[in-house]
Copies of this chain bind each other. A is one copy, B any other.
Amino acid sequence: MSEQGLLTPGSFRAAGTVDDRAVADAMVRVELAWVRALAHVGAVDADRADRILASCADWTPDLAAIGAATEAAGNPVVPLLTALREQLAPADAAVIHRGLTSQDVLDTALILLSADALTRVRADLGAACAALARLADAHRGSVMAGRTLTQYAVPITFGLKAAQWLAALLEASDEISAILATLPVQCGGAAGTLSLAGELTADPVALAEALAGELGLTWPGLPWHTERRAVTRIGDALVATCDALGHLGADVATLSRPEIGELREAAVAGRGGSSTMPHKQNPILSVLIRSAAMQAPQLGAQLHLAAALAVDERPDGAWHSEWSALRRLLELTVTAASQAAELAAGLQVDVDRMRARATGAAADLLAERGTDGDGDPAAYLGVSQTFVDTVLARLPGGGPDHA
C-alpha cells in the first residue's frame, strides 16, 4: 500500500503486495533461491548452502538502511546484499549472489511481486465474475433503455449489460492466467552472458533453469535485461483489466445518478458519505474504480516507454523508470479488482425503474424498428438472450453459480 493510503483510497486491499517490505522479502527470496540453485548444480556444497539458508532464515532486512543506500548503488540490491552478507561468515558471504547481477535479482523480485498481485487480481475477478454471472442470468428479462452517445437507443436488458461487463472481466482473467503460467526468471549476469556463472558450473543454463524452478517461474531461454516484453505484457494485462473495470464503474456511476436511479451500490454504514451533506450516498466504489481506470493507461505507457528506450546491455535510466510505475499499477489493479468484486456482489438493481423508463421512452427506443409494433420495448430485444447465454457459457464452470 502507498504508505497508509491517504491518497490511494482502498490501497489497504493490496496490503503486503507491493510495499518495500514485499520488495525486500522478494529480493532475499531470489538471493536464497540462487544459493539453492547453486547447490542443485553442484557449484556449492550442500552443507554450505544449508548453513547459509539457516543463517538467513530469520533475517529481516532493515528497510530504512537499504532505502537510504539505494541511490548510491543505483538500485536496492547492492545495499541489501551488503546487509545480507553481514549475517554470514566471509566464505559463505562470498557465495551469495555470485554469478548474478543486480538486475537479475530486482527483475525477478518484481516478477514475484507481480505473480502475487496477479493472483490476487484473478481471484477478485473470479468473484466479480461470479456475481456478474448471477446478475446476467437473473436479469436476462429485465428490460431497460439502451443508451448511446448519452441518448436513448434501442431497448436492452440489464442481463445483457451485466453479460458485457462479465465478458470483459473473463477475458482479462484469462489473459492474467496465461501470463501467470509463463512468468520468467531473470538470469543473465553482468551483461547477459552468464559469464561469472560459467566460472561456477559447466552448464550455467541449467543453473538458470534451477533458479527458475526454485521460484516457480519459467526460464525464458535467455535474459531479457533490455527486451522488456515480460514487463510490458504484465502491464498491458493490468491496464486492460482496469479498462474493463472502468466500463463497469462508469456504468454504475451513471446509472446511479438520481435522475436515472436504476442501479445503486450496496449501502454500507459509513461509506459514501459527505463531510458536509448528511443525505449523500456517493457511489464511491464506482468512482474509485473509474479513477483507477483513468490512471492505468499512463502507468502502462511508462512501462512501454522504458522498454522503448533500452540501450546497450543494460540501459542508462530506462530500467529505473519502470519500478515505481509497475508497483503503482500492481497496487492500483489489485485494489480496483477487489473493489469491483465487492461492487458486483452488492449491486442493487431497480428493475421497476428500468422498466418504467423503458416504457416511458418506448417511442424513442422503438423508433429504429420503423413499423407499428405493439409499443412494448420488451418485444424488441434482438438476441439479447443469446448473447447472455454466449457469455455465461464462457464461465469456467459453464454457467452461473446459483448457490
Contact = CB atoms under 8 A, between A and B. Distances in A.
A209 interface: no
Contact of A221 (B2, B196, B304, B390): B390
Interface string A353-377: 0000100010110011110000000
Nearest to A77: B275
Contacts of A192: 146, 156, 160, 164, 387
Interface in A330-357: 339, 357
Contacts of A63: 3-4, 6
Interface residues of A, number: 171
Contacts of A315: 149
A167 B318 contact: no
A324 B336 CA distance: 15
Interface in A368-403: 368-370, 380-384, 386-387, 390-391, 394
**Copies of this chain held together in the complex:** 4
Interface-centre pick from A167, A242, A296, A298 (highest chain B CB count, 10 A): A298
Closest 10 CB pairs of A and B: A146-B191, A4-B67, A193-B382, A290-B317, A5-B67, A301-B301, A148-B314, A195-B382, A293-B308, A291-B317
A191 B7 contact: no
Interface string A106-134: 00000000000000000000000000000
B288 A74 contact: yes
Given A63-B4, A100-B275, A316-B253, A240 B190 contact: no
Interface core residue of A67, A101, A281 (most chain B CB under 10 Å): A67
